[in-house]
Amino acid sequence: MIGFRTFFLIAISIVGLSMAAESPSFDQTVLSRWQTFESSLNTNTNLKQVQRQWTLFADALEHQYPSTAVQLDQVKQLTRHYKSVTQWQTLADSIQTKLDLPSTPTRVSHDNQATW
Protein backbone atom coordinates (compact mmCIF):
# COMPACT_ATOMS: atom_id res chain seq x y z
CA MET A 1 0.00 0.00 0.00
CA ILE A 2 1.19 3.47 -0.70
CA GLY A 3 0.89 6.03 2.04
CA PHE A 4 -1.47 8.98 1.92
CA ARG A 5 1.37 11.47 1.44
CA THR A 6 2.76 9.53 -1.51
CA PHE A 7 -0.67 9.15 -3.07
CA PHE A 8 -1.36 12.86 -2.59
CA LEU A 9 1.92 13.84 -4.25
CA ILE A 10 1.23 11.48 -7.14
CA ALA A 11 -2.24 12.97 -7.54
CA ILE A 12 -0.81 16.49 -7.66
CA SER A 13 1.79 15.43 -10.22
CA ILE A 14 -0.82 13.71 -12.37
CA VAL A 15 -3.03 16.79 -12.33
CA GLY A 16 0.01 18.78 -13.44
CA LEU A 17 0.67 16.29 -16.22
CA SER A 18 -2.92 16.46 -17.42
CA MET A 19 -2.75 20.26 -17.48
CA ALA A 20 0.59 20.26 -19.27
CA ALA A 21 -0.54 17.73 -21.87
CA GLU A 22 -3.23 20.00 -23.24
CA SER A 23 -4.25 17.91 -26.22
CA PRO A 24 -5.47 14.34 -25.74
CA SER A 25 -4.10 13.38 -29.17
CA PHE A 26 -0.78 11.79 -28.33
CA ASP A 27 1.68 10.84 -31.02
CA GLN A 28 2.23 7.21 -31.96
CA THR A 29 5.47 6.92 -30.00
CA VAL A 30 3.80 8.00 -26.75
CA LEU A 31 0.87 5.63 -27.32
CA SER A 32 3.16 2.76 -28.20
CA ARG A 33 5.30 3.34 -25.11
CA TRP A 34 2.16 3.58 -22.95
CA GLN A 35 0.82 0.28 -24.31
CA THR A 36 4.15 -1.45 -23.74
CA PHE A 37 4.32 -0.09 -20.19
CA GLU A 38 0.75 -1.14 -19.47
CA SER A 39 1.31 -4.58 -20.99
CA SER A 40 4.32 -5.08 -18.75
CA LEU A 41 1.99 -4.66 -15.77
CA ASN A 42 -0.21 -7.52 -16.97
CA THR A 43 2.34 -10.14 -17.97
CA ASN A 44 4.13 -11.00 -14.73
CA THR A 45 7.06 -8.88 -15.81
CA ASN A 46 9.69 -8.26 -13.17
CA LEU A 47 9.88 -4.94 -11.39
CA LYS A 48 12.99 -3.74 -13.24
CA GLN A 49 11.31 -4.30 -16.61
CA VAL A 50 8.21 -2.36 -15.49
CA GLN A 51 10.46 0.48 -14.35
CA ARG A 52 12.26 0.42 -17.70
CA GLN A 53 8.99 0.58 -19.64
CA TRP A 54 7.83 3.49 -17.46
CA THR A 55 11.06 5.36 -18.21
CA LEU A 56 10.57 4.85 -21.95
CA PHE A 57 6.97 6.11 -21.73
CA ALA A 58 7.90 9.12 -19.57
CA ASP A 59 10.74 10.05 -21.93
CA ALA A 60 8.41 9.89 -24.94
CA LEU A 61 5.79 11.99 -23.15
CA GLU A 62 8.37 14.57 -22.14
CA HIS A 63 9.70 14.68 -25.69
CA GLN A 64 6.22 15.42 -27.09
CA TYR A 65 5.30 17.76 -24.22
CA PRO A 66 8.45 19.43 -22.86
CA SER A 67 6.32 21.31 -20.32
CA THR A 68 5.72 18.01 -18.48
CA ALA A 69 9.38 17.73 -17.42
CA VAL A 70 8.89 19.09 -13.91
CA GLN A 71 5.83 16.94 -13.21
CA LEU A 72 7.49 13.83 -14.62
CA ASP A 73 10.52 14.49 -12.44
CA GLN A 74 8.24 14.65 -9.39
CA VAL A 75 6.67 11.32 -10.34
CA LYS A 76 10.13 9.82 -10.90
CA GLN A 77 11.20 10.90 -7.42
CA LEU A 78 8.17 9.14 -5.93
CA THR A 79 8.32 5.99 -8.01
CA ARG A 80 11.99 5.32 -7.40
CA HIS A 81 10.88 3.84 -4.08
CA TYR A 82 8.28 1.51 -5.59
CA LYS A 83 8.89 -2.08 -4.55
CA SER A 84 6.00 -3.85 -6.26
CA VAL A 85 4.22 -4.06 -9.59
CA THR A 86 0.96 -3.33 -7.72
CA GLN A 87 2.24 0.16 -6.90
CA TRP A 88 2.98 0.70 -10.59
CA GLN A 89 -0.50 -0.57 -11.50
CA THR A 90 -2.07 2.03 -9.18
CA LEU A 91 -0.01 4.75 -10.83
CA ALA A 92 -0.90 3.49 -14.31
CA ASP A 93 -4.62 3.49 -13.49
CA SER A 94 -4.44 7.08 -12.25
CA ILE A 95 -2.42 8.32 -15.21
CA GLN A 96 -4.59 6.50 -17.71
CA THR A 97 -7.70 8.16 -16.29
CA LYS A 98 -6.22 11.66 -16.00
CA LEU A 99 -4.55 11.70 -19.42
CA ASP A 100 -7.34 9.73 -21.15
CA LEU A 101 -4.88 7.16 -22.48
CA PRO A 102 -6.22 4.04 -24.19
CA SER A 103 -6.21 0.75 -22.34
CA THR A 104 -4.66 -2.37 -23.78
CA PRO A 105 -7.18 -5.11 -24.65
CA THR A 106 -5.92 -7.35 -21.82
CA ARG A 107 -6.37 -4.53 -19.34
CA VAL A 108 -9.87 -3.65 -20.60
CA SER A 109 -11.12 -7.20 -20.24
CA HIS A 110 -9.51 -7.46 -16.80
CA ASP A 111 -11.02 -4.17 -15.65
CA ASN A 112 -14.49 -5.20 -16.84
CA GLN A 113 -14.57 -8.58 -15.10
CA ALA A 114 -17.23 -8.93 -12.48
CA THR A 115 -16.11 -9.58 -8.94
CA TRP A 116 -18.18 -12.28 -7.28
| pTM of the predicted model as reported, rounded to 2 decimal places | 0.69
Higher pLDDT, 13 or 50: 50
Taking the C-alpha atoms of residue 15 and residue 112, their distance in angstroms, rounded to an integer, is 25
pLDDT single digits (tens) 40-82: 998 878 999 999 999 999 999 899 989 989 999 999 998 989 9
Q: What percent of the chain has pLDDT over 90?
A: 42
Mention every residue, 6+ apart, whose C-beta is less than 8 A from residue 58: 72, 75, 76
- Residue 51 is assigned to a structural domain of this protein: yes
Q: Is residue 108 part of a domain?
A: no
Residue 97 lies in a domain: yes
| Selection from 65, 63, 91 nearest residue 77 by Cα | 91
Question: Residue 27 — φ and ψ, nearest 5°?
Answer: -75, 170
Query: In this predicted structure, which of 7-16, 59-68, 87-96 has the lowest mean pLDDT?
Result: 7-16
Tell me the average pLDDT of the chain. Answer: 78
What is the domain count for the chain? 1
Indicate left, alpha or beta for 44 from its phi (over 0: left) and psi (-120 to 50: alpha): left
Asked whether residue 77 is assigned to any structural domain, the reply reads yes
Whether residue 116 is contained in a domain is answered as: no
Please indicate, yes or no, if residue 111 is contained in any of the structural domains: no
Structural domain contains residue 115: no
- Which range marks the domain in which residue 44 is found? 4-20+27-101
More confident residue, 5 or 22: 5
